[in-house]
């Protein structure tokens, strides 16, 4: 019985190690998307949304002055939300580290930036949102995808070469020959699909970067990104209404 337990234990360990090594396979990518969204990110988002509610309820409107558009940003005391926001930032950082190849990495950075904004750590928040805007620029994303495609094609060619060598050995044995196919003719590029109906948050990050620059008094920088959002036709209608 003990030897049987050890046997199955060793098999389980081998499977775990193989999964860990195959970080970017078709099996692990959906896993990272699923756990990246519904584990640490989900819990971090709950804490951030609760903090929004807390700060909005704390703010009292002064009708003798111009009313604040964003009450959560006008609150002077943020100590009540410091702990949950710190927890949210920690969870986002962990999510990014563990599920880097998943589709929810940019969302985790964005949530981290919002938490820093609510803590009134505006310099840190600006750096986080600027990082998203730059890193996930379409040109940079295209470059990364091109690298992945080249890597994938190289791997396919190696696999096809191995198959050809095996086929040649079989043909020699059977004494039959078949016309060779060009590997490049067989390869077709497929359109990019986002898992779990995910959409990048770059435009949201641009809006929040503008908000952060306004809080820092950097109005020219804020205006620059707001104009980009106004002029870009790809910006979702719902987000455009907030600009």
Q: Are residues 99 and 146 in the same domain?
A: no
Question: Model confidence over 198-214: pLDDT tens digits?
Answer: 678 999 999 999 999 99
pLDDT bucket at 120, cuts 50 / 70 / 90: very high
**pTM passes above 0.85:** no
Q: Are residues 75 and 103 in the same domain?
A: yes
> What pLDDT score does 188 carry?
46
> What pLDDT score does 211 carry?
96
* Residue 10 located in a structural domain: no
Q: Spell 13-44 as b/e; 16+ CB within 10 A means b.
A: eeeeeeeeeeeeeeebeeebbebbbebbbeeb
For 217, the domain range is: 129-136+200-243
CA distance 93 to 108: 7
* Residue 1 located in a structural domain: no
CB 116 within 8 A of CB 125: yes
Q: Are residues 34 and 106 in the same domain?
A: yes
Structural domains counted in the chain: 3
Average pLDDT over residues 111-129: 98
Q: Are residues 33 and 107 in the same domain?
A: yes
Q: Are residues 167 and 243 in the same domain?
A: no
Q: Are residues 110 and 156 in the same domain?
A: no
Q: Are residues 111 and 30 in the same domain?
A: yes
* Residue 238 located in a structural domain: yes
Q: Are residues 111 and 146 in the same domain?
A: no
Tokens 């006008």 -> residue: 74
Question: Model confidence over 168-179: pLDDT tens digits?
Answer: 777 776 665 555
């Amino acid at each position: 019985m003990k030897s049987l337990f050890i046997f199955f234990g060793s098999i389980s360990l081998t499977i775990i190690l193989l999964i860990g090594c195959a970080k970017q396979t078709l099996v692990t990518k959906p896993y990272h998307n699923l756990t990246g969204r519904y584990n640490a990110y989900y819990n971090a988002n709950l804490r951030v949304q609760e903090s929004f509610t807390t700060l909005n309820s704390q703010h009292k409107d002064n009708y003798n002055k111009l009313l604040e558009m964003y009450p959560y940003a006008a609150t002077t005391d943020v100590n009540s939300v410091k702990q949950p926001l710190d927890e949210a930032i920690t969870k986002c950082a962990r999510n990014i580290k563990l599920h880097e190849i998943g589709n929810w990495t940019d969302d985790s950075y964005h949530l981290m930036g919002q938490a820093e904004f609510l803590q009134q750590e505006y310099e840190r928040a600006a750096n986080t949102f600027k990082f998203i805007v730059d890193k996930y620029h379409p040109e940079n994303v295209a470059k990364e995808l091109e690298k992945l495609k080249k890597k994938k094609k190289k791997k396919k060619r190696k696999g096809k070469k191995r198959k050809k060598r095996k086929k040649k050995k079989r043909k020699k044995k059977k004494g039959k020959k078949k016309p060779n196919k060009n590997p490049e003719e067989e390869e077709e590029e497929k359109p990019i699909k986002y898992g779990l109906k995910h959409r990048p948050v770059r435009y949201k990050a641009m809006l929040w970067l503008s908000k952060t620059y306004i809080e820092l008094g950097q109005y020219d920088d804020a205006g620059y990104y707001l104009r980009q959002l106004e002029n870009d036709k790809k910006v979702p209608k719902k987000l455009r209404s907030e600009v």
